[in-house]
Structure 1
């Protein structure tokens, strides 16, 4: 996995210690960042990249897996500070990232307001305001399902809907590595569906996991949980079986 660096970023959010794992994919010409954390995370990212012996100025591209707040929160800040970085996203995601369409998470949260009691409703409204405050950012290049980007030994775009309709994962055939985004998460050493209560289409999410079985994957990197250690194929099969039963 020598062309793939995990950037484990530890921080406190809502009073809890959390870790996210953006990824840096590299070759002689390219330093490609995958996802970029919450708003105001640029200093965290700069430090994490520097610890790998790389200047953030050398980042050439930033691929976004989907438009959740913890994946695009710092996108506009990064583009402002480093305008040379090419922002890449799946075609369905572009209008949400650029602000032409309302975030699907906002729509989802609004749909629950009528069912909530006062305290929970206040929390949901606060969450909606936070989501609405995330600054839109321009998408310089869109990609489609099964497209193979020519950098770093090839980066295959794998449309993995469910968590969100436009969610993508990235397959690196040269190292048989899957960057999963939120298609799956790693919890207590076990792969699982990311935030089932917030997954927009659970059937599609499970189908996406099933589709990953078509790839020869030796390593899987989850945005939440980091690098999975174990038999990837068996773990994916177990996850599909769990949601079938």
Structure 2
């Protein structure tokens, strides 16, 4: 039996699975689409060049990209902000939302944590690893900046209070997740992934701060939530 509170809730979260091939292997990412008052909010924008793929998924779900009013960025990484500039260029009225820490890198005002980390790791790599390390660094350097219109912090509320911003640092310092108490749902970004049927830390070897990542995962698990929208794992039901 469905939760009538969820059925009557004015907010809806839609998973947008995007499958793609990379060096002969299949991968997927899962941006989220939030529907509220006939307006759309996209959470994260995929890799560079993914605008058409994401807009195609939005159309398949019965909505139109022209309904986009907001884009929320959980954190700075190439697979989350890669097409942000393209979205802003095509939909100039859309409002970009991010945490204060992440916004500076997104806007190109400071070197991103991920780029600094990649440059440091390159110094420790052997020659075989270094080739892919250098390619990743160049990919990060090619990311196009976009100004952030609205800054959020832990405890802020969006969508007339239906969405609560959670600071979930660790993967990056300014990483945020989005909690919808009435839906008992969370959009986790990269603060979580599913491994062996359980919520786990995403790529712990690349976390900026592993201790914080562990704390953030505990926070997500402690929420009164049964549905997690996870960027690299899709929908997780607890």
Give me the whole-angstrom Cα distance separating, in 1, the residues matched to 2:198 and 2:26. Answer: 20
Range 112-121 or range 128-137, more displaced: 112-121
Give 1:149's aligned residue: 158
Q: 1:189 touches 1:229 (CA, 8 Å); kept in 2?
A: no
Q: Does 1:62 align with 2:82?
A: no
Give 2:60's aligned residue: 51
Q: 1:23 aligns with which of 22, 32, 43?
A: 32
* Alignment gaps of 5+ in structure 1: 231-245
Give 2:235's aligned residue: 227
Give 1:198's aligned residue: 206
Please show how residues 170-185 of structure 1 align to structure 2 within 5 Å: 170-185=178-193
Please show how residues 75-90 of structure 1 align to structure 2 within 5 Å: 75-90=84-99
Q: 2:200 touches 2:217 (CA, 8 Å); kept in 1?
A: no
Secondary structure, in 3 states, of the residue corresponding to 1:170? strand
* TM-score (normalizing by structure 2): 0.92
Q: 1:26 to 1:42 in 2, by over 3 A?
A: same
Deviation at 1:205, TM superposition (A): 0.5
Range 57-66 or range 12-21, more displaced: 12-21
* TM-score (normalizing by structure 1): 0.89
Deviation at 1:150, TM superposition (A): 3.0
Give me the whole-angstrom Cα distance separating, in 1, the residues matched to 2:81 and 2:39. Answer: 21
Give 2:197's aligned residue: 189
Q: Does 1:138 align with 2:147?
A: yes
- Report how many residues are paired: 229
Give me the whole-angstrom Cα distance separating, in 2, the residues matched to 1:116 and 1:63. Answer: 34
Give me the whole-angstrom Cα distance separating, in 1, the residues matched to 2:77 and 2:33. Answer: 19
**Which of structure 1's runs of 4+ aligned residues deviate more than 3 A?**
none
Q: 2:45 aligns with which of 3, 26, 36?
A: 36
- Deviation string 1:31-90 (CA, Å, 9 cap, x unpaired) is 111111000000101100000111101111000000110000000000001111111001
- Deviation string 1:3-27 (CA, Å, 9 cap, x unpaired) is 1111111111232211111111112
Give me the whole-angstrom Cα distance separating, in 1, the residues matched to 2:220 and 2:64. Answer: 33
Secondary structure, in 3 states, of the residue corresponding to 1:158? strand
Q: 2:121 aligns with which of 112, 116, 129?
A: 112
Give me the whole-angstrom Cα distance separating, in 2, the residues matched to 1:99 and 1:67. Answer: 11
Give me the whole-angstrom Cα distance separating, in 1, the residues matched to 2:59 and 2:85. Answer: 20
